[in-house]
Structure 1
């Protein structure tokens, strides 16, 4: 299923190795085990990528690359999934993480003033950071597990659908199925 679809959009290792900015990672990029597209490697890459995306930290892509290396899963997918939290979606996702953390810690969520400023955020950071951290870790774990399970189910469904389609085509070719 998804193997052909994913291969169509994935970058080639040689292309990445030639890029000047990625030369320091050339050994990691050259590892063929991190480019395999199997059900396990793709599902684990989704776990790593989604987990890293939910964390409010700088260098999420480095965390995802290290996680892909540790779990021996697909490197480009895990790093690419970090971009779920891009500059447009980041405020909404981290606000949701903050609300989840407030709910888990059973503390009232702070209401934002009419005009949010960096000064207000800096003043509130001591109170906001622990709640955001708890909510982010919780949503990272949930997103990682859900991503893994959903990808495994989709992969399995696609493979069984493909088997059924091939079996039907074989039966038609053999003339066993009446039209």
Structure 2
């Protein structure tokens, strides 16, 4: 634990704490509900819900506003804010180059690509947007839903497993006598 603290403390010290948020823009915007104990204290439901929410938003094609969406949604859905923010980091500039094309291919498989006659009334920029947006959002909805469901179920199972006390197998008080010697005087 000591080496972890020494190695990663310089990163962890920049994470905002509740005391840093008092009086800030978010506090003025969201009010005192930002400081509700359920949003910050880790419980099974809030951690699982926060990670599921963060992954759902993280897999959606909302690059650039994912943290804002996750944070505000976590306050209104009353799930763990740090887990929601951490889950939204699943897509970053490096992983997005892999995730978004996969979501797009899944979307093409699900909804197909729009026909050229469907795109006739759009200007060229909007035509390109309409051609790519529908399959991308359809694929991302499937990816997001699956990731959120797996995260919620996985955290719940792991949490319950960690909370279940491990008991050692009980040994009998006496060892039985060897066969054939039980009734000898």
Q: What is the TM-score of this pair, normalised by structure 2? A: 0.67
1:142 aligns with 2:155: no
**Paired position in structure 2 for 1:157:** 161
Q: CA deviation at 1:16?
A: 4.0
Measure, in 2, the Cα distance between the counterparts of 1:95 and 1:66: 27
Structure 2 alignment gaps of length 5 or more: 1-8, 115-123, 174-185
Measure, in 2, the Cα distance between the counterparts of 1:153 and 1:128: 37
**Paired position in structure 1 for 2:61:** 56
Contact 1:36 1:73 in 2 (8 A): no
Per residue, is there more helix in 1 or in 2? Answer: 1
Q: Map 1:19-34 to 2 at 5 A.
A: 22=26, 24=28, 27-34=32-39
Structure 1 alignment gaps of length 5 or more: 1-7, 109-119
Q: Larger Rg: 1 or 2?
A: 2
Q: What is the TM-score of this pair, normalised by structure 1? A: 0.69
Aligned length in residues: 147
SS in 1 for 2:160: helix
2:103 to 97, 101, 114: 97
Q: CA deviation at 1:39?
A: 0.7
Query: What do you get for the CA RMSD once the two structures are aligned?
Result: 2.9
Q: Map 1:1-179 to 2 at 5 A.
A: 12-17=17-22, 22=26, 24=28, 27-57=32-62, 58-107=64-113, 124-160=128-164, 163-164=165-166, 167-168=167-168
Q: CA deviation at 1:34?
A: 0.7
Q: CA deviation at 1:124?
A: 3.0
